[in-house]
Amino acid sequence: MFFLLLVLVSIGVFATELISNTAVTAKLAPFLMGVALQLGLETDSLVVPVAIATSMAFICANKFSNVLRFPLSSPIKPTLV
């Protein structure tokens, strides 16, 4: 159960690097509900941890996001606001 949650949370956190946290949660929630029902678990046991993780991952600024937007050879220099 712990390994399954770790994998699902990791997928959710990495997906927020590409799209917003709301979109990730909206796309993963029905899938996670089906997986939980197939495993005989309550649906909240998989949906809530992933929803919380995607929300927290989206508000955390990481050092790699500017690398994706502004490669080292780019003439555009990112500025701190």
Q: Does residue 79 or residue 12 have the better pLDDT?
A: 12
Where are the chain's structural domains? 2-69
Give the chain's length.
81
- Tens-place pLDDT, residues 31-51: 999 999 999 999 999 999 999
Cβ partners under 8 Å of residue 32, min gap 6: 8, 43, 46, 47, 50
Q: What is the pTM of this model?
A: 0.65
Transcribe 23-75 into DSSP letters. Answer: HHHHHHHHHHHHHHHHHT--THHHHHHHHHHHHHHHHS--TTHHHHHS-TT-S
